[in-house]
Structure 1
C-alpha cells in the first residue's frame, strides 16, 4: 500500500482542499482519503510536507504524440525522438492522460506510441471524406494509402473516444498556417524566415480575419511586408497570392468537415471536438445547435478580438457546447501566442469549462505554469482551477479518463504532486499508484 501523508489535497471537485491529509492507494486505486497523517502498518510512506496532491492532469487536446499524420492537414508524422520528447514534456508537467486530436492516426499508430510512455494516450477519429479532402488541399504528405483506405468506423471500434479535431488552424487559415505553411511558402519564394506573428500580420492584411481576398488592406499589407523584412522582395499582390495559396484551398472542405464530423459524432454517440475560430464559428455553432455533444476547442483563439470572442462563447454556451480554453504557449515561450489575455478574459467571465494545452507550434505551456499564473493572479481559486484540468475534462469526454480526475475512494490512483512553494514545479507523478516521475 502507498501512503501519501502530510499532503494538501485538492480532490478535483472544484471546491475541496484538505490540509495535512493522507491518501492511501493499493492495487492501482485510491482506497482512502483521511484527515491527519496516520498510516496503516507496512505502508510505503511518502511524506509530502504540505505540498499539493491532486489528480493527474487530463489534457484533452494535444498533438504530436502518436505516429500518425499531424493535424487536420495530414502533415507527415513526427520522428520517434520528437514524439518521445512531447510525451515526456506532458508527463513532467503532471499530465497522466492525453487525448490526441490528430484524427488521421490509425489504431496501430496510436498503439505504437503508447509503448513509449506510461501516460494513457487516447485518440480521436477524423477519417471523414471532407476532412481528407481538406488535408490534401493543404498538405496531405503524411497520408498513406492505408490512411486513405481506412475508415472512421475502424478508428471508433479500436477505441477512439471523440470525433475530431474537425477543422484546424492548418486547414482553416489559423495558427497552423502562421507557424507552418505561410512561413514555409515565404521562405521558398524569398529565402527570408518570418515569425508566426509576422505571418499573421501578413495574412490578416492580405485576407482579413474572415479570410476573404476582397478584405485586403493595402496600407496594412505594405506595413506587414516591411515589418517582416520583405519590402522590395514581394509585391503586395504576390504576397497576397502566396498567402491565399496556403490558406484558401482548404477552407470550404474544412468547414464542410465540421458538419460531417458532427453527424458522425451523433451517429456514434461520441463528443465532437471542433476547431473554434472566426472562419469556423458558424459551423461549430450549427453542430451544437443540432444537438451534437460539442467541445468548442480553444474558444479563446487569439484570432478573435475580445468582444467577438465573448459573443461567440456566450452563443456557444447557449447552444449547449462545452468551452475549451487553451494555454497554447501564451504563458511561456510566446512563440505562437503572444498573450494569455483572451484566456484570462474567458476565465473571468466564467466561460471556460476545461483547460488544455493544444500544441502552440510545439512550444505548448506546461499546465502547472498556467495553473500558477491563473491562481497567482486571483483569477480562480486553486480548487476551481484544478477542476478545469482534471474532473472537468473527464466528465466532458466520458471515454477519455473513466474513474480518473478525482481523489476519492475507488478512483484510479493517477496523481500529481506540486510544490507548495511553487505551483509550477512538479515533484512527483503517479499512474495507477506507481511513481513514474520524480525530478532529480
Structure 2
C-alpha cells in the first residue's frame, strides 16, 4: 500500500505548496512518528491556507491520513494560529469526530515565522532540529495544507492543475481565488478588478520572503501562494529590487554591529550557530577564506533581520543569501557535528508579533480576510516545466497537440528528482519555448 500511495503522489505531480516545491513523494518515502500539518499561514496577508481549512477540512484530513499511513505515523497534528477563529473552530470540530484518537489540533501564537519548519517543530513537539537538518531527524514530517489537499485528490487520480492564491495589496477586489496553473499574473490581476495604481510591482509570495516579478507576463505555478500589488517605492518592494552590489556596499559601510539581527534571528534563538551581524563583516571577495561565512548556510532567509530588526535599514538577509550562493556554488557544506542545542532563554519574548510586523511593513490597510472568489475562468495558460526543486520535467507533447485538463505534458526524467506537469485546461498546444508549454482553449 505504501508503494501505491507514493506512486499516486508521484503521478499527480504533487509538490510542496508552501515553499520551494519539494516533490511530495520524497517526504512520503520517510518513516516517522508524527505528521505536522503546517497551516500557520506564516507570511502576513496570505489567507489561502485558512480558507482551505474552513472550506475543505475533510479533504485536507483525508490527505493527512493518507500521508500518515504512508510514513507509518501514529500522530497527525493540524497546526494553525488561533487568530483564524473560524478555521480553528472547523479544525477542532473535525478532530473531535476522529474515532482513532490519532488526530490533534495545535493552536499557534500569532508570531512570525511560526510556519518555518524548524520553528514549527520546536513549538509543537518541543524538539530542536539539528543545523541544516530535517524534521525527520526528530521523527516528524511537515506538510503544507494545500499539499495535503492535493494528496487527497491524487488518491482519486486527479493531478495538480489548480492553485489557491491570495490576491491583495493595491487591487480593486482583494480575494482568495482558485487559479489554473499557468495562468498569467496579468490575467489574475484583471480578474481581481485590476490594480488601483498606475505604477506598481507585484510580489510573488509573501511580503517577507516573496520575490518581485520583473513583469506581470509570468505564470502562476504550483508554489505561487500570493500576489501582492504594491508601489515600487514601498518598503516591502524597494529592497528586493535594489542592485545586489549596492546592497553589499551599503551594508559593509553602514552596519554598526548592534547585534539586533542576531538577537531576533529565529535560527539563532533555536541555538543554531548563526550570527547575522558577524556575516555583515564578511567581504564578498573573502567568502571562501572566512570560516564565519559558512554560517550563512544556516539562514532561512525569513527576513526578520532586514524588515524588522535592523535600526539602520540595511539587509542582513540579502547579504546572507549572496554569501550562501557563493558557498553552495563551490560545494561548501556545513558540518553540524554532535552539538547540543540550547534554545535562547529569551526565545519566547523575542518572537515577532505578526500585527507589529504588519505595522512595520506598512501593510495595515491590506490586512484582513479577503473573500473567496471561486475558480477563475481562463482561455490560455503558459505552464513551466520546472515548478519544483530538482530537474525540470521533460516535455511529452508537441505544438498542435490537443490536450485535456489533467493530461500529462511533462514527464520526470529517469533517475532524477523531479515532478510531473499536467495540462490545466482543455485546448491545443500553441507553443513550446524556453521550458514553457502554452495551451490555448
TM over 0.5: no
Structure scoring higher RCO (CA < 8 A, sep ≥ 6) equals 1
TM-score (norm 2): 0.29
